[in-house]
A = this chain, B = another copy of it.
Amino acid sequence: MLFDKVAILGIGHIGSSLARVIRRDRLAGKLVAFDASADHRAKAIELDIADAATGDISEAVGGADLVILATPVGSFAELASAMAPHLAAGSIVSDVGSVKMAVIRDVGPYLPESVHFVPGHPIAGTEFSGPTSGFAELFHGRWCILTPPPGTDSKAVAKVTQLWEAAGSMIEMMDAGHHDRVLAITSHLPHLIAYTIVGTATDLETSLQQEVVKFSASGFRDFTRIAASDPVMWRDIFLNNREAVLDVLQRFSEDLTALQRAIRWGEGEKLQDLFTRTRAIRRSIIDARQA
């Protein structure tokens, strides 16, 4: 048994998937789901992925030796402030948020000295949300990035590592700021662009819009899948990784303007050169078994 009591705060797509792993592998003596939504709490019990479900934060985290924050990152500060007085000495607090600097900024100051903070980010998920959408295999073969600040208790880091390894993940240790830069390009910018293009299409006149749906197999539909991700979660990500997102977005916009100019002036070679270069990175992803 890895933990006596685990509290998962937010029993949505990621939280419920992790709960399923913990139940499957009997990693905790007791697993409590905290969620503000009565519907989510009822679902967690109905699906039998938690021993108890509560809307009372002190009940959730009291006596827990591991607390995992799995709500949208915009709620972390309030959650940390509310749970702090009830945290057990020596317990571990971790999270699954898609940004890490803001999480350290929002959660860190509330935690007592005796509590170990090990921020984490499983690079996994689908476009679906809520407790029913989770599954235990979600993290299998995927990376989980941990960003413990320097000086974090190594035993606490080891236990969080063991948890994600049980989920089938590969672990990467990273500086939080570096994490935010890497994810800005690999995840946040792609989502922003997908949301934008789908938004552009929904603003078209109704007749054209129906045809966009009909003929979406030609490229558009891949963007709609990404743009169906949870709205509140993604709002919070953009608001909390502002600098890194704006930086890569600026680069992207410059590159797009250059392509726009090449199309306008019929510069075929420039287009073909880029389109040939981009093929190589696909090859690397296939070789890295992340395709």
Contact = CB atoms under 8 A, between A and B. Distances in A.
Interface of A: 74, 98, 123-125, 127, 142-143, 145, 172, 181-183, 185-204, 208-209, 211-229, 231-232, 234-236, 238-239, 242, 245-246, 248-249, 251-253, 255-257, 259-260, 263-264, 266, 268, 271-272, 274-285, 288, 290-291
Query: Of A127, A181, A223, which is in contact with the most chain B CB atoms at under 10 Å from its CB?
Result: A223
A263 B288 contact: no
A253 B251 contact: no
Contacts of A142: 217
A271 to B, nearest CB: 4
Copies of this chain, whole number: 2
B186 A222 contact: no
9 contacts: A186-B218, A196-B255, A198-B278, A200-B252, A209-B281, A213-B288, A215-B290, A216-B285, A221-B291
A263 B278 contact: no
A223 B264 contact: no
Given A190-B219, A231-B276, 12 more contacts: A127-B282, A182-B208, A185-B201, A186-B216, A189-B197, A190-B223, A195-B274, A200-B251, A202-B281, A227-B281, A234-B271, A242-B264
A86 B235 CA distance: 61
Contacts of A183: 215, 218
Given A212-B182, A255-B196, A290-B221, A279 B202 contact: no
A239 to B, nearest CB: 6
A224 B290 CA distance: 11
Nearest to A266: B239
Contacts of A278: 194-195, 198-199, 202, 224, 227-228
B143 A248 contact: no
B271 A239 contact: yes
A236 B238 CA distance: 36
A172 B193 CA distance: 30
Contacts of A264: 242, 246
A56 B132 CA distance: 60
Contact of A220 (B181, B186, B225): B186
A196 B252 contact: yes
Nearest to A248: B200
Contacts of A98: 218
Contacts of A193: 193, 197, 256
